[in-house]
Structure 1
């Protein structure tokens, strides 16, 4: 059994390991990890943006007042800038999330260029290649250095010469969600191109170097603390018309971008449709506040997964099913709590999904194997003992934690021997079929009485029977139950005897002997033929006691008498010599029940 269990456990756990390797290689668990990351992010967001950030929004109201965006001329931006700056006040930085990569109306372009020349701290965006090509290059690029896009698109020279530049490329995961940002991108003939948020943070004199030192790729997880409605947002048209005081922009970090429906929207960790200008706002807030989210290295995740892989088979096989299930569930909850706490309080994210799936798969596979083997063992026990025991006792054996040693053990039993007197005469008068029917009726009655008292039918031998008590399961009051079985059989024999006498004129009786003592009990025999039985001197004594009985008499040994004299009325009939014994055995006859036990 143990060898089979080890073999099945080895095969099952090898299967778990193979499945987990496939799941990890194919990234089937990645969506679950991302969902968990998103939940943690949603729960931890502060919704309190840095008070220096202000968004000038091209919203529906602005488009309604100033016309469709594709009809705008760039002198509108010149007016916007002039209403932000005064001789006494000016923003710390103004970052446009709007591309100016091609020329338009000459007079309007010239007006905007002049405004850019007049005012400091303005950033116009560049972008690398197209988004699809950029994403493809991103997936195949090394994480040991800055990403080097092959093609850049910059603002037209008349604008670029008067402004700072920054890239506005969104870093999309394969599922299209913006979870990370590239703070810098490489340029073929120039230094690194900072992101819009990074350049604005630098102009605000924030310490951004710790972010750039996190990895060679200058890539970070975005800590989304705000959703769209959390930022201080002013309609573009209000600033354009001078209805928003310029003093409000003093030393502020101004983002100019779209919030109108249908423009510049992306999926993020905390919002399925966030305007990209607010994505820049979240990154800028993160840089200003120095907030970083770190990821636990994959090696540590693998080690935790291996720990779960090693721990769950022990839990499944060493503990009861309920205890093991509670331990497995507790471990899973502890993993979830640990990853949640590490995110909330330490700003560390670790992929708890892989260890959790390893835990669940490993435990379920091992508990299933254990249940299969236990059921197989129970079926074996039922098959082995179903011929001897009552169904209730068989079920009790199957449920019991008590080990049943089938090879034979020394154990104290009470043994009952029974012989049907008058059977020879009856068999001579009756046809064989009726004799067999009589025996079956008698043995059915004897069996029912024995099983009612938790006895085990050892064997039927012709017109005799042997019943044992206290095996295979312990029966604390086995002496009483053996004598009570004998009494119940004799009481039932009164009706049987009367019926046989009326029908056939023959007197049938039963003699019963009971003894209590140590015997060897177990599956005894050869490889081809095995019986569950008891052997030993005390079995022989019980048989000899039965041979000394008179018709309808119950005799017990002194040992049985001493243990049951409080329950039955006895009559000592003296000592008798037994075959094979050098000293006589004192016998007692059961006369009546003394009291109910």
Structure 2
């Protein structure tokens, strides 16, 4: 036990210090730490809201619509602001269509100019001022152009709610206020934490007196500028005024008044909600609620104001609904960052609140939530600090995973089932930190080995292979082994001549660009780079990571290298550099592979006869004027995947047995009928060639050469047939050609 405690002493100490700091951070009243905690909790709240949006209660009552002063309206009706005459027309049409309540996300704070009054004023400054009859005529027309009165008359016909703004900073006032919801005694005003406002911007008296009702439009974004919550009520001179959404809903529900629901804690009276007839709206002590988002932006029914004015809307789309009128046109749109969307229409905030009141859906942060989270930080933190140092990394990983899943389930369940918003992030942070901290020690020794493997293989294999090797933790990968590999050699044709024409800087740049492009192809198909020797590339497949398709992938790499080279040559042409042509040799066989070398320098490499044959096949591309040559064993493993053109049977230098070699034309599923026809015709010609039927073989090869003049291989066979006709190879001839090229 003493040994265990000694080994884990630092873990215990760090664990308890972290839990203490986290608990202090959570309850600290310091403005910086409080802001940090709020920022973290707000980010989690936003994520939970967006992630669980489809799980929240759906909108039950589809009795809210938005009449938008949108781009269409501006285009058809003229620029904003519209005349009060047009607004009166809009209100009249909504009233005729039986709208239950119409709420304006707009303030009419200034009177509209009467053009007749302006005309009279201008007339007094002209010689015509002495014309009494003209003056009298114009004066008689003044009432007919008083559109404020016309608008007011329209507003007096039904339940219309105007917008207003209450100001906590300035005590200036403008316009008129409606009658308050209720009036507080001075004692109530002092004890309750309802925000106190000092000024206001209201509507002109003639409009406010006609509409009777108004609601404030104040938005209260958090420190990061995001709207998450809003006040339903505010206090101005001990008078309580409602928000636009609350007042519109009150009228819709035919409720005469709203009551404050308070609770006494000692001598302190705390606001806990608002009673709207049978509906209890839970609020915090300031009368604020979380904005009850349940749908994304633009999810409520939108109707263009112009469509209303032009009689293009059916009455059923308006009748018996709460209508919010707001501007959404480009340049006018009231878009706000919110929890639900980065650009959320302000008018939809009012719609969301009204919809929630009608459906009795109020997500809320319980007053006891902060205390619960603090207890969980201490409780789970102490348990983790004491227990986790004794657990292995696997168990700690399971605990961390279950903690995350448990957190997701709990927060989602509380929100979607009980409408309780608890982020519970800080207890989760405590558990996860302690779990991951105690994993570190378990991984230290493994980390050292992983670094060694990465340093050995990082320069040879693609990143995905390195990742697989690191995950396997297989120490034998560094040891030598004998296994079947497929090897690829590529070499630039005429490299010596090309290099003599370039400066050292040009040669380096061109070679680096070429090698990078080819290596990218090899890595993309899972190959391992063995080495670069000048312009030569050697790569292999099936080590260090096993791959049962190694032969197929090697041929695919060869074909893709040739295709990629065409694109690279276009770049060289633009840079006035010579184009490059390469030959590629591919062979499969048992090969020794491993980390080899001296104590001064080591390399992960492959050696063996099959490697040598791949190198020789690359060299034989030149005499046949082909781009790729594939050995017999590679052909046998991939003959169903590719279409091959038989090239020859050769005895490479140093070998007595002939080896069949092939040219891959492409994937069997992608080749053309013409290519298949050529392969079949060529096979027949070769068979007659091996049977020493020279006349038939010569005729067939001549036909092939005529039909495919760019295939130099047929010239090779025609030259040999001509030679063998004069000097037959004998009855024991096995068809093999002795290659003198290494």
TM-score normalized by structure 1?
0.56
2:94 matches 1:84: yes
For 1:74, the equivalent position in structure 2 comes to 84
> Structure 1 residues 270 and 239 mapped into 2: Cα distance closer, same or farther (>3 Å)?
same
For 1:510, the equivalent position in structure 2 comes to none
Q: 1:264 aligns with which of 311, 324, 334?
A: 334
User: CA offset at residue 212 of structure 1?
Assistant: 4.3
Q: Larger radius of gyration, structure 1 or 2?
A: 1
User: CA offset at residue 94 of structure 1?
Assistant: 0.5
Distance (Å, rounded) in 1 between the aligned partners of 2:435 and 2:350: 45
> Structure 1 residues 29 and 369 mapped into 2: Cα distance closer, same or farther (>3 Å)?
farther
Cα deviation 1:409-466 (Å, max 9, x = unaligned): xxxxxxxxxxxxxxxxxxxxxxxxxxxxxxxxxxxxxxxxxxxxxxxxxxxxxxxxxx
Distance (Å, rounded) in 1 between the aligned partners of 2:371 and 2:88: 53
2:200 matches 1:128: no
Q: 2:363 aligns with which of 293, 299, 324?
A: 293
For 1:4, the equivalent position in structure 2 comes to 6
Q: Does the CA contact (< 8 Å) of 1:92 and 1:251 recur in 2? A: yes
Distance (Å, rounded) in 2 between the aligned partners of 1:149 and 1:373: 64
> Structure 1 residues 8 and 369 mapped into 2: Cα distance closer, same or farther (>3 Å)?
farther
For 2:122, the equivalent position in structure 1 comes to none
2:195 matches 1:195: no
What aligned pairs does 1:431-580 form with structure 2 within 5 A after superposition? none
Q: Does the CA contact (< 8 Å) of 1:315 and 1:328 recur in 2? A: no
Q: Does the CA contact (< 8 Å) of 1:317 and 1:370 recur in 2? A: no
> Structure 1 residues 291 and 69 mapped into 2: Cα distance closer, same or farther (>3 Å)?
same
For 1:281, the equivalent position in structure 2 comes to 351
For 2:322, the equivalent position in structure 1 comes to 253
User: CA offset at residue 244 of structure 1?
Assistant: 2.3
Cα deviation 1:182-223 (Å, max 9, x = unaligned): 11111115x311111111111121773654454332211112
User: CA offset at residue 83 of structure 1?
Assistant: 0.9
User: CA offset at residue 366 of structure 1?
Assistant: 4.1
Q: 1:231 aligns with which of 300, 309, 313?
A: 300
Distance (Å, rounded) in 2 between the aligned partners of 1:267 and 1:7: 48
Q: 1:161 aligns with which of 200, 209, 213?
A: 209
> Structure 1 residues 131 and 38 mapped into 2: Cα distance closer, same or farther (>3 Å)?
farther
Q: Does the CA contact (< 8 Å) of 1:332 and 1:359 recur in 2? A: no
Q: Does the CA contact (< 8 Å) of 2:232 and 2:289 recur in 1? A: yes
Q: Does the CA contact (< 8 Å) of 1:85 and 1:246 recur in 2? A: no
Q: Which has the higher contact order (CA 8 A, sep 6+)?
A: 1
2:57 matches 1:57: no
For 2:48, the equivalent position in structure 1 comes to 40
Secondary structure in 1 aligned to 2:94? coil
Distance (Å, rounded) in 2 between the aligned partners of 1:182 and 1:323: 47
> Structure 1 residues 261 and 143 mapped into 2: Cα distance closer, same or farther (>3 Å)?
farther
2:153 matches 1:114: yes
2:96 matches 1:96: no
For 2:276, the equivalent position in structure 1 comes to 208
Distance (Å, rounded) in 2 between the aligned partners of 1:293 and 1:213: 9
Distance (Å, rounded) in 2 between the aligned partners of 1:261 and 1:311: 56
User: CA offset at residue 357 of structure 1?
Assistant: 1.1
> Structure 1 residues 4 and 144 mapped into 2: Cα distance closer, same or farther (>3 Å)?
farther
Cα deviation 1:506-535 (Å, max 9, x = unaligned): xxxxxxxxxxxxxxxxxxxxxxxxxxxxxx
Distance (Å, rounded) in 2 between the aligned partners of 1:28 and 1:185: 28
Q: Does the CA contact (< 8 Å) of 1:98 and 1:125 recur in 2? A: yes
Cα deviation 1:297-332 (Å, max 9, x = unaligned): 100011112222022224412322312321232123
Distance (Å, rounded) in 2 between the aligned partners of 1:173 and 1:245: 40
Distance (Å, rounded) in 2 between the aligned partners of 1:102 and 1:34: 39
Distance (Å, rounded) in 2 between the aligned partners of 1:372 and 1:7: 17
Distance (Å, rounded) in 2 between the aligned partners of 1:60 and 1:131: 34
User: CA offset at residue 142 of structure 1?
Assistant: 10
Q: Does the CA contact (< 8 Å) of 1:211 and 1:220 recur in 2? A: no
> Structure 1 residues 3 and 234 mapped into 2: Cα distance closer, same or farther (>3 Å)?
closer
Distance (Å, rounded) in 1 between the aligned partners of 2:316 and 2:388: 69
> Structure 1 residues 6 and 245 mapped into 2: Cα distance closer, same or farther (>3 Å)?
closer
Distance (Å, rounded) in 1 between the aligned partners of 2:312 and 2:440: 72
Distance (Å, rounded) in 2 between the aligned partners of 1:331 and 1:257: 45
Distance (Å, rounded) in 2 between the aligned partners of 1:92 and 1:329: 52
Out of 276-285 and 311-320, give the one that drifted further: 311-320
User: CA offset at residue 363 of structure 1?
Assistant: 2.5
Q: Does the CA contact (< 8 Å) of 1:184 and 1:192 recur in 2? A: yes
Distance (Å, rounded) in 2 between the aligned partners of 1:166 and 1:256: 13
Q: Does the CA contact (< 8 Å) of 1:198 and 1:208 recur in 2? A: no
For 2:474, the equivalent position in structure 1 comes to none
User: CA offset at residue 20 of structure 1?
Assistant: 1.6
> Structure 1 residues 143 and 176 mapped into 2: Cα distance closer, same or farther (>3 Å)?
farther
Distance (Å, rounded) in 2 between the aligned partners of 1:12 and 1:374: 23
Secondary structure in 2 aligned to 1:349? coil
For 1:15, the equivalent position in structure 2 comes to 17
For 1:184, the equivalent position in structure 2 comes to 233
Cα deviation 1:450-487 (Å, max 9, x = unaligned): xxxxxxxxxxxxxxxxxxxxxxxxxxxxxxxxxxxxxx
Q: Where do 5+ consecutive residues of structure 1 fail to align? A: 135-140, 376-597
Distance (Å, rounded) in 2 between the aligned partners of 1:354 and 1:323: 22
Q: Does the CA contact (< 8 Å) of 1:208 and 1:287 recur in 2? A: no
Q: Does the CA contact (< 8 Å) of 1:312 and 1:328 recur in 2? A: no
User: CA offset at residue 91 of structure 1?
Assistant: 2.1
Question: Aligned residue pairs: how many?
Answer: 364
Distance (Å, rounded) in 1 between the aligned partners of 2:296 and 2:10: 52
Secondary structure in 2 aligned to 1:256? strand
> Structure 1 residues 371 and 241 mapped into 2: Cα distance closer, same or farther (>3 Å)?
closer
User: CA offset at residue 175 of structure 1?
Assistant: 1.0
What aligned pairs does 1:388-467 form with structure 2 within 5 A after superposition? none
Distance (Å, rounded) in 2 between the aligned partners of 1:367 and 1:133: 60
The CA RMSD measured in Å over matched residues stands at 3.1
> Structure 1 residues 74 and 99 mapped into 2: Cα distance closer, same or farther (>3 Å)?
same
> Structure 1 residues 374 and 59 mapped into 2: Cα distance closer, same or farther (>3 Å)?
closer
Distance (Å, rounded) in 2 between the aligned partners of 1:36 and 1:162: 45
Distance (Å, rounded) in 2 between the aligned partners of 1:251 and 1:3: 73
Cα deviation 1:119-170 (Å, max 9, x = unaligned): 1200001111289999xxxxxx999521111111111111111120111111
Q: 1:348 aligns with which of 397, 420, 424?
A: 420
Q: Does the CA contact (< 8 Å) of 2:228 and 2:290 recur in 1? A: yes
Q: Does the CA contact (< 8 Å) of 2:235 and 2:241 recur in 1? A: yes
Q: Does the CA contact (< 8 Å) of 1:143 and 1:217 recur in 2? A: no
Secondary structure in 2 aligned to 1:145? coil
Secondary structure in 1 aligned to 2:48? helix
